[in-house]
Amino acid sequence: MVLPQRHRLRGRGVFDYLYRQGRAHNRGPLLLRVVPPKPELLKPELRPGAQDFRFAVVISTKVSKRAVVRNRLRRLFHDAFTQWALQGAQGTASQLASRAHWLLLSLRPEAVQVDPHDLLREWWVLMQQAGLSNDGVPQSGPE
C-alpha cells in the first residue's frame, strides 16, 4: 500500500526542521524523530491537512546498496504507519488531531539483517516511547 499523499513529508525545509528540532527515540536499528507540525514549511497546496500525522522513512545506501531492498523496507513501514493512522482515525480521531506530529524514521545499516517482524515490533515500541501509541504491540506483521 502506498502512503497517502496527506501523510507524506517532503521538502528540504521540513527535513531540516525534523533533524534540528526533532525529539529522537532510539531502539536497535531504528531512530524515530518526532516534532509538532509546522504548516508554514509545507507548500501552500499541502497545508489544508497540515494538522494530520505525517511520516517519512529515510534509508541510506549504507543499509543496502540495492534499491529493491531499501524500497521493500520503506513500504513495510509505510504500511505499518498507514494501519496505525487508520486505527487512530477509527478510534480517537479528535484525540489524535489535537496532538498530531510529524515523524521521521531512519534505519541504520544493521536493519537489513533484522527480520521484518522484529523491525515492526521495534517500531511499535518506539511509537510507545514517543507517547504516540498506548496500545500493545500489534500481532500482525508484514504479509
Percentages (nearest 5) of helix, strand, coil residues in the chain: 50, 15, 35
Cα-Cα end-to-end distance for the chain: 12
Centre a 10 Å sphere on the Cβ of residue 10 and count the other Cβ atoms it contains: 13
| Cα–Cα dist 67/101, whole Å | 28
Tell me the CATH number for domain 5-129: 3.30.230.10
Half-sphere exposure for 116 (CA within 13 Å, toward CB): 16
Centre a 10 Å sphere on the Cβ of residue 59 and count the other Cβ atoms it contains: 22
Residue 140 has a pLDDT of 45
Cell of 116: 521484518
Query: Domain segments of the chain: what residues?
Result: 5-129
Model's pTM, two decimal places? 0.83
- In single-letter form, the type of residue at position 93 comes to A
**pLDDT tens, position by position, 4-14:** 888 888 889 99
Provide the mean pLDDT of the chain: 83
| Cα–Cα dist 22/9, whole Å | 14
